[in-house]
């Protein structure tokens, strides 16, 4: 469903992958990430990747969210894909 990476010893997900998996439109990602960063604490809920992944060249930084934070974000959206993602992330947290 979504790739889970280890980053700084924690299970994390890429913010851009999460954004697309939830089912949101690509064009609003920059505004979305700005709002999300204000909700959580850096190095607690989200991390900035030092090594850039060039999945999308418009994105200058790659943000990674902890699974708990990603799940909390998914709960905000009432979309079929976000509901599946909530269940998936809960199972991954419990592993």
pLDDT digits (tens, 9 = 90+) for 43-72: 788 888 766 455 556 666 788 999 999 999
Query: What distance in Å separates the CA atoms of residue 55 and residue 74, rounded to the nearest whole number?
Result: 22
* pLDDT attached to residue 79: 87
Question: In sequence order, which residues have a C-beta less than 8 Å from that of residue 24 and are 6 or more positions away?
Answer: 32, 77
Q: Calculate the average pLDDT of the chain.
A: 85
Q: Quick check: 67 and 18 in contact, CB under 8 A?
A: no
Q: What's the token pair of residue 67? A: 């699974």
Query: In terms of Cα–Cα distance, which of 40, 55, 41, 77 is closest to 5?
Result: 55
């Amino acid at each position: 469903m979504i790739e889970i990476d280890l980053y700084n010893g924690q299970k994390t997900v890429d913010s851009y992958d999460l954004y697309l998996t939830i089912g949101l439109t690509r064009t609003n990602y920059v505004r979305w990430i700005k709002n999300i960063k204000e909700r959580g604490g850096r190095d607690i809920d989200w991390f900035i990747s030092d090594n850039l992944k060039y999945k999308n060249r418009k994105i200058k930084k790659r943000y990674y969210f902890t699974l708990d934070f990603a799940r909390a974000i998914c709960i905000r959206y009432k979309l079929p894909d976000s509901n599946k993602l909530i269940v998936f992330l809960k199972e991954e947290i419990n592993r």
